[in-house]
Amino acid sequence: MKKSIQFLMLTVAFMFSTVIMAQSTITGTVIDAEINAPLPGANIVEKGTTNGVSTDFNGKFTLTTQESSGQVVISYVGYSSVTLSFDGNADLGNVKLTSDNSLEEIVIVGSGIIDLAEDRKTPIAVSTIKAAQIQEKAGNSDLPELLKSTPSVHTTQRGGFGDGQLFLRGFDQTNTAFLLNGQPINGMEDGKMYWSNWSGVLDVAQAVQVQRGLGSSKLAISSVGGTVNIVTKTLDKKEGGFIQQMLANDGYTKSTASYSTGLMENGLAVTAMFGHWRGDGYVDHTEGQGQTYFLSFGYKVNDNHLLNLMITGAPQWHAAAGNADLEDFLAEDRGRRYNSWNATGVNSSNNLNSGVYPGGRNVYHKPVINLNWDWDINEKSSLSTVLYGSKGRGAFVQSQFDRNTREATYARGSNNNHDWYGLVTNYNNELNENLNFSVGADVRMYNGIHYRSVNEFFSVDSVGDSSTYNGGSYEITETFGGINPWNLLFNSNDDHGQRLHPYYDYEEDINYLGVFGQLEYNKDKFSAYFQGSASTQSHVRTEYGNSSIAGKGEVSEKVNNPGFNVKLGGAYQINNNNTVFLNTGYYSRQPYHSDLFIDDRASNQLNPLSDENQNITGIEAGYKFMGDKISVNANLYYTIWDNRIDYDSEDTDDDNIADVFYSTSAIKQVHYGGELEIFTRLTDKFQLQGFLSIGDWRYDGNVTLTETLEGGGTTTTGETSYIDGVKIGNAAQFTAGIGAKYEILPRFKIDANWNQYDKLYGNANYGGSEFSTANNRGSIELPSFDTVDAGLSYKCLVGENDQNSLQFRLNVNNIFSEVYLEYSDENKHVDTGDVAWNGVNVENRVRFGYGRTWNFSMRFNF
């Protein structure tokens, strides 16, 4: 009996050891191939079995297999699956999954200059919107609307196509840096962004990353509020494409087609995308139309050299929407769709040939071309370079009327043209396993050309003026461009004699040279970095319209401004789930060209208050938790923006020349707050996320108003504007949101987002009566509001081996048609006898937000 028991125990032990020997341990990390970010919740299954695991929030997994060799299938909803073989214990390393709307891995060209957050070990406050979500959510909105469910972001739509605005931590777009594949795209003159010129980027974007605060960019850029980096599709490895048709509210339609050859045997790859859109606009008389195009020519010279030439543009025209007094919107038969810019009392036809441009039309074409070169010098070092250029041509076109008959006589275009060339290059070297070093340069050369000319004659054949211009009167007999952006690109007015005077006619040349570097240390659980940059920027202005030199322009003195920034930070990984970090930085930022000259329309006179740099100091702390089912990001920030001036001008005669210029003494703003993001993947089919932003943004100290007469006349010191402690306007200082996505059936998903906005204030007008006494009443607070958006998606697999798909998407925004004010340009409080709407004085100039809107798209991927 004893021997029998021993034999049985040996048999069991042998069988158990055989099972153990037959098993293997497979490890790895699943990442998004588009931006090298981890994919939490990806599924890893041993092929032919039900044995599987999911990745944690760092994208890591460990799978104990039932056999010692075989295959594992790695998949994630919205991405193409990957099958890999194993033989014994194996570490699969980084396993890249690509969005299944792009069929194969996409090579990110110029990765050395893009500065994504994932490229640096030390974390920052960041949110990333990836290709699949962009495709679902973008619809017919501007890019800012795509980002409204991220912390400390506030967006306004402003009524016209492409007129949207984004505020980040309370700072407007001129103080948020926007980059396209690492290339700065904010306006060189004033830092502004016009999304109508970039409407096509979302059709080809692989990711949009919002880096709040200091960010990871090494360039000396205007990132007071943060940095938004748009990463586009560049070089596909496989052949494929898509055709998409979109319909939306108010007659909107958009057709788009894209095709890629894939990486061919000769090393070439070509991707092309073209689109056409038109719509009537949500606001009355804000119709528009345009095209989008994207061409990418890639060439893989060898394993070390990769070239890519990209050309993109979005020629368009759209009518503008003006703000108005709140009481005007509330008048009978008007409402929130009301467009005050069309309330002329004359012919309201939308027909161009009738001589009426309702409210004025923005017409623009800004083709951008860049050439990327990536050179892997050796295993430890690389060089990335992009050479770029753009030629912007366009105008804001308005009808001009006879003062007596009120008949439209001609269409006048205020042209804002430019030629812009630049280069960004970055060298990266892995000095050792713990130390990484990079250094580079940023060069920009800009020529801005501004004038007024005749775009179309209606009831007259010429326009003249007897006023003195370059020694005599003038007569305009030629037209340029109409409202066709292609015509304006190739038929711009280079003849000063055919420009309207004495309205503005001037040019500026802005040259910028910057150098930058970064050193990052990483060992075990600790990482730290130091970034620094230095730059010099020169400005020259040439005045033609009011020049006293016959046939020539008067050239201003050259203004040179040096600037620099420094950033440093560190992070400590407490364990696999918990990380803390601290970043700080200081910017000495040059004033914009628009700050330097006292009147951008008629004078080379310098503004004496704007020759000093603005000072920005920032500090932020963060905490990241990465668990199996939940991820948490928390940030605290404190930003000081000091030593800046603001200004305005007043037209004082019939020639519309701004003869009086008002400016402030140095203004100081303090912005601080906290942000929280939570992501959960409760099941493979259900995702839930939320965010919370609480800020306190206000002016620190009062300012003195200064009045300067054009031409160097007397300067007088005006009143003190008592803005100390006044809240910063235009962006809600409290935002919160919850978003959910559920897969009802395979490839059939529903998602919804609820957003809450509070503590939204009117924009401070320093010369306004509300701030003229020491007992100021501060900014008015607009009513809080919330919106709910929802969407449905379905993907049908078709073709041989289900390699093609047909996708359907429906978005409904502001489902309950919430009535709310986007912004107020004034701060008129409610006093006895005043009329109010929801606590807001109806004499304030405002704009309402959109009611319920929708868009539906059908997309065939092949």
Judge whether residue 774 has pLDDT over 80: no
Output the pLDDT for position 719.
81
The whole-angstrom separation of Cα 309 and Cα 295 is 8
CB contact at 8 A, 818 and 785 = yes
pLDDT tens figures, 594-634 = 888 866 566 787 877 777 899 999 999 999 998 878 899 99
Ordered DSSP codes for 756-787 = EEE-EEPPP-TTSGGGSSTT-----EEPPEEE
**Exposure of 30 in the CB half-sphere (CA atoms within 13 A):** 29
> Which of these ranges, 53-57, 171-175, 306-310, 449-453, has the smallest mean pLDDT?
53-57
> Which of these ranges, 148-162, 450-464, 565-579, 750-764, has the smallest mean pLDDT?
450-464
Residue ranges of alpha helices (H) inside 662-789 are none
Judge whether residue 553 has pLDDT over 90: no
Ordered DSSP codes for 577-597 = SEEEEEEEEEEEEPPPHHHHB
> Which of these ranges, 123-137, 343-357, 786-800, has the smallest mean pLDDT?
343-357
For the record, the structure tokens of 726 come out as: 């006044």
For the record, the structure tokens of 658 come out as: 């701004």
Residue range 492-506: mean pLDDT, rounded: 79
CB contact at 8 A, 539 and 558 = yes
pLDDT tens figures, 412-456 = 899 999 999 999 999 999 999 899 999 999 999 999 999 988 888
Q: Is residue 350 very low, low, confident or very high in pLDDT (cuts 50, 70, 90)?
A: very low
Judge whether residue 118 has pLDDT over 80: no
Phi then psi for residue 761, to 5 deg, are -115, 160
Judge whether residue 326 has pLDDT over 80: yes
With tokens 């093609």, the residue in question is 804
Domain with CATH 2.60.40.10 in the chain: 2-97
Q: Is 326 helix (H, G, I), strand (E, B) or coil?
A: helix
Counting residues of the chain whose pLDDT is more than 70, the rounded percentage is 88
Q: Which of 37, 35, 30 is nearest to 63 (CA)?
A: 30
Residue range 675-703: mean pLDDT, rounded: 93
Judge whether residue 18 has pLDDT over 50: no
Output the pLDDT for position 33.
73
Judge whether residue 176 has pLDDT over 70: yes
Q: Is residue 131 very low, low, confident or very high in pLDDT (cuts 50, 70, 90)?
A: confident
CA terminus-to-terminus distance, the chain? 71
Residue range 577-589: mean pLDDT, rounded: 94
Burial class (CB in 10 A: 0-12, 13-18, 19+), 149: buried
**Exposure of 757 in the CB half-sphere (CA atoms within 13 A):** 27
Beta-bridged to residue 27, according to DSSP, are: 62, 91
Residue 62: count other Cβ atoms within 10 Å of its Cβ. Answer: 13
Residue 325: count other Cβ atoms within 10 Å of its Cβ. Answer: 17
CB contact at 8 A, 404 and 431 = no
Alpha-carbon separation of residue 578 from 127, 623, 676 (angstroms): 18, 7, 15
The whole-angstrom separation of Cα 559 and Cα 689 is 49
CATH (one of 3.40.50.2300, 3.10.129.10, 2.40.170.20, 3.90.700.10) for 235-861? 2.40.170.20
Compare 201 and 788 and report the one with higher pLDDT.
788
Judge whether residue 717 has pLDDT over 70: no
CB contact at 8 A, 207 and 34 = yes
Output the pLDDT for position 351.
38
Cβ contacts of residue 400 below 8 Å, gap of 6+? 408, 409, 410, 411, 412
Q: What is the mean pLDDT of the chain?
A: 86
Output the pLDDT for position 659.
58
Q: Which of 179, 176, 191, 178 is nearest to 594 (CA)?
A: 191
Q: Which of 26, 27, 29 is nearest to 42 (CA)?
A: 29
The whole-angstrom separation of Cα 301 and Cα 284 is 53
Q: Is 144 helix (H, G, I), strand (E, B) or coil?
A: helix
Helix or strand (DSSP H, E) at 133: helix 131-137
Chain centre distance of CA 289:
21
pLDDT tens figures, 718-743 = 788 899 999 999 999 999 999 999 99
Domain with CATH 2.40.170.20 in the chain: 235-861
CB contact at 8 A, 125 and 635 = yes
CB contact at 8 A, 416 and 395 = yes
Cis-peptide into 502, omega within 30 deg:
yes
Residue 231: count other Cβ atoms within 10 Å of its Cβ. Answer: 27
CB contact at 8 A, 647 and 766 = no
Residue range 109-131: mean pLDDT, rounded: 80
For the record, the structure tokens of 241 come out as: 């494409």
Beta pairing, strands 463-469 & 435-457: unpaired
Q: Is 200 helix (H, G, I), strand (E, B) or coil?
A: coil
Write the Ramachandran bin of 130: left for phi over 0, alpha for psi from -120 to 50, otherwise beta: beta
For the record, the structure tokens of 696 come out as: 């306190």
Phi then psi for residue 340, to 5 deg, are -65, -25
Output the pLDDT for position 712.
55
Q: Which of 56, 126, 125, 93 is nearest to 577 (CA)?
A: 56
Output the pLDDT for position 122.
85
pLDDT tens figures, 637-660 = 999 999 988 877 655 444 444 456
Helix or strand (DSSP H, E) at 146: helix 143-146
Helix or strand (DSSP H, E) at 112: helix 111-114
Q: Is 547 helix (H, G, I), strand (E, B) or coil?
A: coil
The whole-angstrom separation of Cα 602 and Cα 712 is 13
Residue range 271-297: mean pLDDT, rounded: 94
For the record, the structure tokens of 195 come out as: 């999304």
Ordered DSSP codes for 331-371 = STT--TT--GGG--SS-----GGGT--TT-EEEEE--EEEE
The whole-angstrom separation of Cα 17 and Cα 538 is 77
Beta pairing, strands 226-232 & 176-180: parallel
Q: Which of 856, 860, 859, 855 is nearest to 282 (CA)?
A: 855
CB contact at 8 A, 469 and 517 = no
Length of the chain: 862
Domain 2-97 has CATH 2.60.40.10: yes
Output the pLDDT for position 475.
82
For the record, the structure tokens of 112 come out as: 């050395």
The whole-angstrom separation of Cα 532 and Cα 16 is 61
Judge whether residue 383 has pLDDT over 90: yes
